[in-house]
Amino acid sequence: MKVETPQILWHQVINPTQKKEAGKNSPILSCSLLDCQDGTGVLATAGNTEVNLWRVNFIDNSVRTDDTKRNILVKPQIPGAAARSNSGAGSSGGDNDVHMSDAPSAPQLSEHTRIEHMITLTRGTNERNINAVKFSPDGYHLAAAGDGGTIVVWSAMLMMTSNTNARLQSWKQLQQETDLQMKIIFNQSDDVMDIAWSADSKRFTVCSLDHTLTVWENAQKNNEME
């Protein structure tokens, strides 16, 4: 077995001038992936008081070798780092780090799935931990909630369009947080631990530490959460 030192990306340290130790204990409590249906996606990760959005370019299965198909899931590209010639697999866990280890047999960069940071969402998240983040199945909304019970819902500006591709692409092309619409919902229960959307994206449920479930419904007239 060939083993190499894993690459580690600190979740809360995006600016390369920051010290790595600053994000060493930053938790990754939740993640959600929006598939843009063109070989790319937008990954939302939550921890501490902010939500990070990442642009993901997936491996094209047609260019994989037999070895990479058996051994490789993804090969993230660390923002600001030079491209590596080996392929590998990425994972995240309870140790608060994102690990990216290398594996043999992948001589071409085209076989790498690349991940790059887009923006950090902080409006409305207050100073409490975010325990859950989830994209709606239709790609209109991104909901986040955590300690204190506050729920924040970000929505794509093109959410009213019937063009699914244009709506999904709008997430991938975000430049700043103000490119998104935002709504804050004050949940009656404290410390929301998880979020689940209905299949039709018309409502979502949050569960709290006080043993309660709350269902929030999407108003059809303006596609805003109520």
In a domain, 38, yes or no: yes
Burial of 60 (0-12, 13-18, 19+ CB in 10 A): exposed
In a domain, 65, yes or no: yes
φ and ψ at residue 218, rounded to 5 degrees:
-90, 120
In a domain, 19, yes or no: yes
Identify the pLDDT of residue 48: 82
In a domain, 87, yes or no: yes
Sign of the Cα pseudo-torsion (173, 77, 46, 71, in order)? positive
In a domain, 33, yes or no: yes
Per DSSP, the three-state class of 22 is helix
In a domain, 95, yes or no: yes
Identify the pLDDT of residue 60: 64
* pLDDT, tens only, 130-167: 999 999 998 889 999 988 888 999 998 765 556 667 77
The pTM of the whole model exceeds 0.85: no
In a domain, 160, yes or no: yes
Domain extent for 50: 7-225
In a domain, 1, yes or no: no
Q: Structural domain tally of the chain?
A: 1
Q: Which residues contact 142 (CB under 8 A, 6 or more apart)?
A: 32, 34, 44, 51, 133, 134, 135, 136, 153, 154, 155, 180
